[in-house]
Amino acid sequence: ATATVVEAVAEAVATEAITSMRVVQAVAAREASASAAAAAVALDARASAESEAAARAAAAQREREIEEAVAKVAVEACAHAVTAEAAEAAVVVAAATAVGLRAQV
């Protein structure tokens, strides 16, 4: 009878140990899942920020290209202008061109 009681206690202890181990594993799995989710959110936020920065850089580059093109057109037109009024008109046309180019962006 004593052996049966000892076996029953040993079995109960083993069962409790297995249950405790499963609980610990479940908690660890939930923590790993939460950590992976947080890492995914951080990566997504970083990718979004990098994408926005790239878009801003592309827009700034396009703006510089427009300004350079307009300046070139204005300088060339002024160089070929016979009168001051013609040069002034060339600058106005160049400015209007810039507005049109910016509207296309």
pLDDT in tens, 34-92: 999 999 999 999 999 999 999 999 999 988 988 888 888 778 777 776 677 777 777 77
Q: Which residue has the tokens 């810039």?
A: 98
Pairwise CA distance, residues 80 & 59, whole Å: 32
CB of 102 closer than 8 Å to CB of 67 = no
Residue pair 90/75 in contact (Cβ under 8 Å)? The answer is: no
Does the pTM surpass 0.85? The reply is no
Q: What is the pLDDT of residue 1?
A: 66
What's the CA gap between 24 and 13, in Å, rounded? Answer: 16
Is 3 a residue whose pLDDT tops 80? no
The pLDDT value given to residue 53: 92
In this prediction, residue 71 carries a pLDDT of 82
Q: Residue 97 has what pLDDT?
A: 76
Total number of residues shown for the chain: 105
